[in-house]
Amino acid sequence: KVTCVYSYTDENEVVIDYTAVSNKNTLCNLTNHAFFNIGDDDTVLSQELMIKSHKITLVDNELIPHGEYMNIDGTPYSFYPAKTLGQDMFSDASMIKNCNGFDFNYCIEREGNGLEHFAYVYDKKSGRRMDCFTTLPGVQLYTSCHMNFFGKRHYGDHAALCLETQGYPNSPNCPQYPTTVLKAGEVYSTKTVYKFSVVTD
């Protein structure tokens, strides 16, 4: 049994609360796939991103991790310290080139088990900022690497980004990663918050 509650607070927060219980041991790794572009441009390339992470789960050519980690400090994969998304979007780094951008699980540098700040996105032109908090150990950064959607406007490559909080992908097959098994009778309970503000300096 799974419950997901979306709330909007007076502090301009979108809060996502997930809970689940099971009568048998089962895999449980819940996330969301919301797309964000907090600026006015057609892409997020000029927006600044920080993700509090020193490593990602290394992937193969099909973007599947197999239990390995990759230290990303000082590499094009790192957003710690912050940088614009466009700075390394077109890097020759093999996995970025394969993705046409970023589609990787970042291992969040956590201080405890509670709700913690792990990322922000900032659009200097508009002053808009989105701060991100979670109780989960990982976040998948996806930069709309292969988009070609038409609605009221055309949404092409890098039109938005996703910050999908989660347990590590493929963890059922990778004992090196934190488990995503929900044991019978236990309660799965996680929270993710996206907080919006305007910087006026």
- Measured distance between the N- and C-terminal CA atoms of the chain, rounded to whole angstroms: 46
User: Closest by alpha carbon to 135, among 171, 70, 187, 185?
Assistant: 187
* Residue 33 a catalytic site member: yes
Residue 12 region by backbone torsions, left for phi larger than 0, else alpha for psi between -120 and 50, else beta: left
What amino acid is encoded at 56 in this protein? I
CB neighbours of residue 189 within 10 Å: 12
> 109, 111, 158, 164: which is the annotated catalytic residue?
164
* Residue 146 a catalytic site member: no
**Do 27 and 154 touch, CB atoms closer than 8 A?**
no
> 33, 66, 154, 158: which is the annotated catalytic residue?
33
> What residues are labeled active site?
33, 164
